[in-house]
Amino acid sequence: MTHPSRSFFAELLQATHQKSLPTGKTLQAQIIKTGSSSCTYIANSLVNLYAKCQHLPEAGLAFEEINNKDTVSWNCLISGHSQQGGISNSSIVMRLFKRMRAENNAPPDAHTFAGIFAAASNLADPFGGQLAHAVAVKMDICSDVFVGSSLMNMYCKSGFVSDARKVFDRMPNKNSFAWATMISGYALQRLAGEAIALFKLILWEGEGEGEVNEFVFTSVLSAFKLPELINIGKQIHCLVVKYGLLSVASVGNAVVTIFCLHFVLINADMEFEICSQLPMLWLLVNMLIFVAIIYCGLFNKDKRHYLAAGASGQHVQYQYFHGNREAILSSSR
């Protein structure tokens, strides 16, 4: 005969995967009735269910009912608030971490710190993030690539790019997300020179390991929005084509946006035509790129480049009209 706790655990996992709140509440009532709530694994799964369903008050109540909280208990609630984001949730994450350390009944792990650093970056709170960084260093957790990337993101958003670079340089194993995070940090602070230098480094070191992907290209393209950097942007565009990543929505959108911002609308036209014929996610791609082009056409009205667009099936076409005072969107069926 299957033990009730095992059955509840499996059902909670399924409900969490499906994000079925009604099923979760039904299971909680049965768990309380059978006295299975004393099982930490079951209690943690219940907190995780509510957190994944974005019902954080209920997750908090379930968390408080756990008598013997372990690291997973804290992580479920911290991750829930951290992933939902915002000032309020991020503040709750920092308070939970402070309480976790004060109660000292469960040590933080890599998942804990990833959530803490993400929350600190939302708050632009370098002091709270630095305290957490010190604890992570003491516990030798910063070598984890996801913790390190979250920490870099926090420092970059707070303006401490040099500290982020120190974390990056000390990471023993870097994946594409770590490279992209550091490049994005430089781009965020308008340090295009440092961004391109790091991009050259990944081309030199990471090409054979598959680190040069859409995340890296999207990050590096965001650094070249200044007029004097358009030629570098064109070179990056060539590499995008070489790597076959122009069909990726985020990359194609970044390329088009760069060319639009620099008034190179002919190039934007070409990339738009390519991306608009994608068999997958064509609607999303077209919407993103079309909005970028319309915005840039209106923004650059002194250049007298305006757009008219027509949509037919899965193909979106547009033409330039010189001297017009508005962008006209027309649909043909």
Q: How many CB atoms lie within 10 A of CB 197?
A: 12
Q: Which of 91, 151, 164, 96 is nearest to 118 (CA)?
A: 151
Q: What is the arrangement of strands in the sheet containing 328-331, beginning at the earlier edge strand?
A: 315-322, 305-312, 328-331
Neighbouring residues of 180: CB distance < 8 A, sequence distance ≥ 6? 215, 216, 218, 219
Query: What's residue 155's pLDDT?
Result: 93
* pLDDT: which is higher, 309 or 145: 145
Q: In this structure, what token pair is assigned to residue 23? A: 């099923």
Is the model's pLDDT at 33 over the cut of 50?
A: yes
Position 241 confidence tier, pLDDT thresholds 50, 70, 90: confident
Contact 189, 156 (CB under 8 A): yes
Q: Over 60: is that where the pLDDT of 60 sits? A: yes
How far is the CA of 308 from the CAs of 264, 269, 304, in angstroms? 17, 12, 13
Specify the pLDDT at position 261: 61
Q: Mean pLDDT in the chain?
A: 76
User: CA 293 to CA 253: how far, in whole Å?
Assistant: 9
What is the number of structural domains in the chain?
1
Q: Within a domain: residue 250?
A: yes
Could you give the CA distance from residue 260 to residue 251 in angstroms, rounded to a whole number?
A: 14
Listed in sequence order, the residues at least 6 apart from 108 whose beta carbon sits closer than 8 Å to its beta carbon are 71, 74, 97, 100, 101, 116, 135, 136, 139, 141
pTM of the model: 0.71
Tokens for 25?
């509440």
Asked whether residue 227 is domain-assigned, the answer is no
Task: Return the closest-CA partner of residue 307 out of 295, 212, 315.
Answer: 295
Residue with more model confidence, 44 or 288: 44
Residue 309 is assigned to a structural domain of this protein:
yes
Residue 295 covered by a domain: yes
What is the DSSP code (8-state) at residue 67?
A: S
* Boundaries of domain holding 270: 246-333
Rounded to the nearest 5 degrees, what angle is found at the Cα of 116, between the Cα atoms of 110 and 120?
145
pLDDT in tens, 105-139: 899 999 999 999 999 988 877 788 899 999 999 99
- Examine residue 318 and state whether it is found in any structural domain, yes or no: yes
Sequence length of the chain is 333
Is 98 domain-assigned?
A: no
Most confident range (mean pLDDT) of 6-20, 47-61, 272-286 is 47-61
Q: What are phi and psi of 248, to 5 degrees?
A: -80, 130
Helices (H) and strands (E) in the chain, counts: 17, 3
In a domain, 285, yes or no: yes
> Which of 270, 308, 305, 276 minimizes the C-alpha distance to 289?
276
User: Is residue 186 scored above 60 in pLDDT?
Assistant: yes
User: HSE of 213 in the Cβ direction (CA atoms, 13 Å)?
Assistant: 11
- Is 40 contained in some domain? no
pLDDT (0 to 100) of residue 299: 45
Share of residues in the chain with pLDDT > 70 (%): 71
For every residue of 203-249, DSSP letters joined together read HHHTGGGT--SHHHHHHHHTT--SGGGHHHHHHHHHHHHHTT-TTSH
DSSP string for residues in 291-302: HHHHHHHHHTGG
Distance CA 259, CA 232 (A): 11
- Give the single-character DSSP code of 144: S
